[in-house]
Structure 1
Amino acid sequence: MIPFNKPFLVGKEIQYIEESVKSGKISGNGYFTNKCQKYFEDNFGFKKALLTTSCTDALEMTAMLMNIKPGDEVIVPSYTFVSSALAYTRQGAKIIFADSRKDHPGIDEKSIENLITNKTKAIVVVHYAGVACDMDIIMDIANKHNILVVEDAAQAIDSYYKNKPLGSIGHFGAFSFHETKNIISGEGGLLTINDERFIDRAEIIWEKGTNRSAFFKGEIDKYGWVDTGSSFLPSELIAAFLYAQLEHLEEIQNKRKQLWNTYYDELKPLEEQGLIRLPILPSFAINNAHMFYVTTKNLEQRDDLISFLKLNKIHAVFHYLSLHESPFHLKNNKGDIQNLPESERYTNCLIRLPFFYELEIEKSRYIASVIKEFYK
């Protein structure tokens, strides 16, 4: 069976983990944590970067930093992972779901303004498949209505909008280093803070509500409990693994782009025949090759194609279930039934193909050939 995903070693992951253990400190905010954070700040221009144990944790930190409370509304795309909404629901916010674009699973930017009320506190945009949303439109709307913007960039490491790194444009960004992402550490995430108003408090929330970071910088002579927070920082073992991957970012990205282009070139004839739809790249976005997906005509065709691939020992998967139709949302928002046709279409018709660093180019060609055989 060709797996959908496979974690990989590309450099000095094991060596750095061993170095971390021998250093005598494997709890968080040590040598490798600081090296990773400096890497992100230096290479992507984030004003402040804080490693977290997951992208979910990074999003939950944004909810605390924005003081989300019951009665607030947060706009979130329906076609996304549950964390994009859960971080704000936990604080008592009402989630207002937005539809996807017709040509891409990302948020329909032009629908956002109609969802804004006097209770809207934030807009969460998800850069699906690492492809940028139109951030000029989004930031113009946010500035007009004095609303904060969170970039859920879980899939968008090393991806750009008009030459600006994703995660650096909104007030906050959140990244994932889960084993399915381009750069991995098993679990792991990153919060980026691009508005200086929030930096000092972010460090406090990150350190369990204490001003411990200021203490270690020599800014205060003792530290204590001064705010809300939690244990968001990861261990040095996670940071050590992550830093070894970051040293090979260019190599990893080049291989993934080769795989992406192979899939695209091999499957393009099926799109030209009107049998499937392939990913599109808006003129303002670049491709960071996070995933490769195809969109079928309907749910039945999608399920049949997944089954056919499985018979040929290929593990492909469908992706998100629209959150506006989730049992949790419907239970907690009785009568709040939205009609979001594009989100529902991607829920029913999108298939993700096997995609990971060690996948051989010839295997991707084989997978494409099986898909072509299905459509014969």
Structure 2
Amino acid sequence: MIPFNQPPLVGTELEHLQAAMASGQLAGNGAYTQRCEAWLEAHLGVKKALLTPSCTAALEMAALLLHIQPGDEVIMPSYTFVSTANAFALRGAKIVFVDIKPNSLNLDENLVEAAITPRTKAIVVVHYAGVSCEMAAIMALAQRYGLSVVEDAAQALGATYQGRPLGSIGHIGCLSFHETKNISAGGEGGALLLNVENFIEPAEIIREKGTNRSQFFRKQVDKYRWQALGSSYLMSELQAAYLYAQLQALDQIQTRRQAIYLQYLAAFQPLADQGLVELPQDMANAHIFYLKLADLAQRTALIEHLKAQGILAVFHYIPLHTSPAGQALGRFHGQDNVTTRESERLVRLPLFYNMADEQVARVIEAVGDFFRV
């Protein structure tokens, strides 16, 4: 079976894991944590990067940093992972879902303003498949209404908007290093990206269980105390060591993923020319390659056809506003003209760093066979 995904392995992970073990510190915020955070700050141009156990944790930290309270409203797309909404719903916010654009599957910036009310506190954008939202328009709206912008850049490391790394444009950015992403921190992991100086100190407090422990370790205070709400949001040193190995190899990982993406694109262009499928319009960081089929029935048939050929292809999100929690904790503003329709016809093909050329060729052949039947 060709899997949909395999965690990337570059060959230097064990060396760094052994170094972390030999250091005598396995808990977070050690030398490897600091190296990874420095790498992110240098390459993304953010004021501060803080490693977290997951992107979910980073989103939860963002909600705490923004002082989200019961009664606040947070605007976001419904076509996203549940963590995007959970982080803010946990603080009592009402989630306001807005429709997406059919070409990028990102939040439709033209529909956001109409969803803003006096209770709106933040806009959360999701850069689906690493393709950027229209950040200039969204940041202008946020400035006009005094709102915060959080970039859910879980899929977007290595992608940019007008030359700026995604995650560095909004007030807060959140990255994922889950094993399904382009690079991994050994299975799980994330990072909080801070683009506002005033967020740095409170974010460190939130990450250290609500204490000023980071200041204590920097010898800025003689003892640390409980300062505010927080939780255990540190990544372990073993995960940071694994992540550091992958950060060092990011360019080679991206180059390989882009090569696979371009093979797919070239192979399936004739199908698109015949109107049989729709292809992605932007490679971005080559995080996802998808096909859009005619409808749900055809997508299901293709997934079953590929499974019979020993290939695992998968659909993606079930729109959050159609779920029980989404209906209880949020509302959809305006019409769902695009979200459900596009979610029902999208299928993702296998794409991972260690994927062999023979596996890519098998996927291409099997998809072609489906449309030749």
TM-score by length of 1: 0.96
**Is 1:153 equivalent to 2:149 in the alignment?**
no
Once the two structures are superposed, the pairs formed by residues 53-202 of structure 1 within 5 Å of their partners are 53-185=53-185, 186-202=187-203
The answer to whether the 8 A contact 2:56-2:87 is kept is yes
The answer to whether the 8 A contact 2:94-2:329 is kept is no
1:356 is displaced (CA, Å) by: 0.7
Structure 2 CA distance for partners of 1:136 and 1:218, relative to 1, 3 Å: same
Aligned to 2:327: 330
Letter in 1 for 2:326: H
Candidates 338, 342, 347, aligned match of 2:338: 342
The answer to whether the 8 A contact 1:291-1:352 is kept is yes
Structure 1 residue runs without a partner (length 5+): none
- Measure the CA separation in 1 of the matches of 2:100 and 2:357: 31
Aligned to 1:317: 314
Matched position secondary structure for 1:341: coil
Deviations 1:325-348 (A, max 9, x none): 011122446x87964121101221
- Measure the CA separation in 1 of the matches of 2:135 and 2:235: 30
Candidates 354, 358, 361, aligned match of 2:357: 361
Letter in 2 for 1:359: M
Deviations 1:112-157 (A, max 9, x none): 1110000000000000000111100100000000000000000000
- Measure the CA separation in 1 of the matches of 2:74 and 2:8: 36
Structure 2 CA distance for partners of 1:162 and 1:156, relative to 1, 3 Å: same
Aligned to 2:251: 250
The answer to whether the 8 A contact 2:104-2:131 is kept is no
Letter in 2 for 1:140: A
**Is 1:287 equivalent to 2:284 in the alignment?**
yes
1:368 is displaced (CA, Å) by: 1.6
Matched position secondary structure for 1:112: helix
- Measure the CA separation in 2 of the matches of 1:194 and 1:336: 29
1:195 is displaced (CA, Å) by: 0.8
The answer to whether the 8 A contact 1:3-1:315 is kept is yes
- Measure the CA separation in 1 of the matches of 2:195 and 2:229: 21
- Measure the CA separation in 1 of the matches of 2:78 and 2:235: 29
Matched position secondary structure for 2:351: coil
Structure 2 CA distance for partners of 1:12 and 1:346, relative to 1, 3 Å: same
- Measure the CA separation in 2 of the matches of 1:153 and 1:169: 11
**Is 1:298 equivalent to 2:295 in the alignment?**
yes
Aligned to 2:35: 35
The answer to whether the 8 A contact 2:72-2:121 is kept is yes
- Measure the CA separation in 2 of the matches of 1:357 and 1:329: 34
Aligned to 1:205: 206
The answer to whether the 8 A contact 1:103-1:280 is kept is yes
1:88 is displaced (CA, Å) by: 0.3
Letter in 1 for 2:267: E
Runs of 4+ in 1 over 3 A off after TM superposition: 335-339
Matched position secondary structure for 2:344: helix
Compute the RMSD of aligned alpha carbons. Answer: 1.3
- Measure the CA separation in 2 of the matches of 1:11 and 1:139: 40
- Measure the CA separation in 2 of the matches of 1:75 and 1:4: 31
Deviations 1:62-109 (A, max 9, x none): 000000010000001000000110000000000000111021211111
- Measure the CA separation in 1 of the matches of 2:102 and 2:181: 25
Q: Give identity over the alignment, percent.
A: 50
Letter in 1 for 2:45: G
